[in-house]
Amino acid sequence: MSRLLEDLALEKVKQGDDAGAKQVLQEKNSIKEIIDSSNNKAQANFALAGKLATLIGDKHHQLLELMGGASSAAGSASGAGGSSWPQPASSPASRAPRPASASTSSTSSTSTSSWATGTGAGAGRGYEMPWQTSLQEAQQRVRQAEAEASKMGRLAAMSAEDSIQAARDRLAQRQAELGIAAGSSGESILQARDRLRRTAEESIQEARARLREQDAQILEYCRRIVARYRRGEYVTEQELEFAFEQLERRLL
C-alpha cells in the first residue's frame, strides 16, 4: 500500500499536481505512523500477556502445593494424635473398634487429598486466563468490524445498481408515454424525439446526482476510518483496505 501511494504521488508530480502529491504523501506518512503505533501496542500487549500467564501459572502451582501440604499435615496430625494416647488394658470387645477408627482417619485423609487433587485438576481445566478472554473479545470486535465494512460495500454497490435500473425504468415508461402521446395528438416525430432526449438527459442527471451523493457518503466513511486511526483507536485491516481502494479509485 505504501508503494502504491508513492507511485500515485509520482504520477501527481508528473502531471504537475504538486498539491495532490503532497496530500498523498501526507496520508502515506500518517497511515505509516498509525500502523507502527498499532504494531508497538500489539507487541507490548503480547509481552504483558506472557508475563501474566507466567505469574498465574506460578500462583496456581503454589496453590496446589499448599493444598497438598495441608492435607498431608492433617493426615500426619491425625495419626500422631491417635498413637499418643495410652491404650488401657481392656477386654477384646472394647479394643475391637480402634482399627476401624484408624481406617476411618486414613480414609478421611485419602479423601481430602483426592479432593484437593481433583479440585486443582478441575481448576486447571476450567480456568480461563484474562489475556485469553481479551483476545477472544478483540477477535469478536474484528469480525464485527469486517462484517460492517463488507455490508457497507455491498449496500453501496446495490444502491448504485438500483439507481441506474430505476432511471432506465423511468426512461422506458416515459418513452411509452411519449409514444402514446405522439400517436394520439399527432405530434411530429422530431418533436417526440426532442422530448425523449430531454427526458433521457433528466433521468441521467438524476442518476448521476444519486451516485455523487452515495460517493460522498463513502468518502465520509473513509474519512472517519482515517480519523479513528489518527486518534489511536483500533481499526481493522479490512477497513483500511476498503478506505485505500476507495481513495485509489478517486485519485488515480
Q: Which residue has the higher pLDDT, 1 or 229?
A: 229
- Pair (118, 172) in one structural domain: no
**Number of neighbours of residue 119 by Cβ within 10 angstroms:** 13
At residue 172, does pLDDT exceed 70?
Answer: yes
- Pair (154, 114) in one structural domain: no
Residue 87 inside a domain? The answer is: no
pLDDT tens-digit readout, 207-250: 888 888 888 888 888 888 888 888 888 888 878 888 888 878 77
- Pair (119, 141) in one structural domain: no
Contact in structure between 54 and 131 (CB atoms under 8 Å): no
- Pair (141, 218) in one structural domain: yes
- Pair (225, 195) in one structural domain: yes
Q: Which residue has the higher pLDDT, 60 or 157?
A: 60
Average pLDDT over residues 174-194: 65
- Pair (170, 119) in one structural domain: no
Q: What is the tally of structural domains in the chain?
A: 2
pTM comes to 0.28
Residue 5 inside a domain? The answer is: yes
- Pair (65, 140) in one structural domain: no
Boundary residue ending a domain (66, 101, 124)? 124
Residue 44 inside a domain? The answer is: yes
In angstroms, the CA 136 to CA 241 distance is 23
pLDDT tens-digit readout, 29-43: 777 788 888 778 888
196: number of CA atoms within 13 Å, CB side? 18
At residue 168, does pLDDT exceed 70?
Answer: yes
Domain that holds residue 202: 134-252
Q: Which residue has the higher pLDDT, 201 or 144?
A: 201
Three-state SS annotation for the chain: CHHHHHHHHHHHHHCCCHHHHHHHHHHHHHHHHHHHHHHHHHHHHHHHHHHHHHHHHHHHHHHHHHHHHHHHHHHHHHHHHHHHCCCCCCCHHHHCHHHHHHHHHHHHHHHHHHHHHHHHHHHHHHCCCHHHHHHHHHHHHHHHHHHHHHHHHHHHHHHHHHHHHHHHHHHHHHHHHHHHHHHHHCCCHHHHHHHHHHHHHHHHHHHHHHHHHHHHHHHHHHHHHHHHHHCCCCCCHHHHHHHHHHHHHHHC
* Residue of 169, 178, 245, 173 whose CA lies nearest to 207: 169
pLDDT tens-digit readout, 83-131: 444 444 444 444 444 444 444 444 444 444 444 444 444 444 455 666 6
- Pair (5, 116) in one structural domain: yes
- Pair (66, 142) in one structural domain: no
Across 92-101, 105-114, 175-184, 195-204, the highest mean pLDDT is recorded for 195-204
- Pair (46, 153) in one structural domain: no
- Pair (117, 218) in one structural domain: no
Boundary residue ending a domain (124, 147, 182)? 124
In angstroms, the CA 49 to CA 136 distance is 13
Residue 97 inside a domain? The answer is: no
Residue 95 inside a domain? The answer is: no
- Pair (70, 148) in one structural domain: no
Q: Tell me the average pLDDT of the chain.
A: 69
Q: Is 53 left (phi over 0), alpha (psi -120 to 50) or beta?
A: alpha
Q: Which residue has the cell 509481552?
A: 47
In angstroms, the CA 246 to CA 210 distance is 17
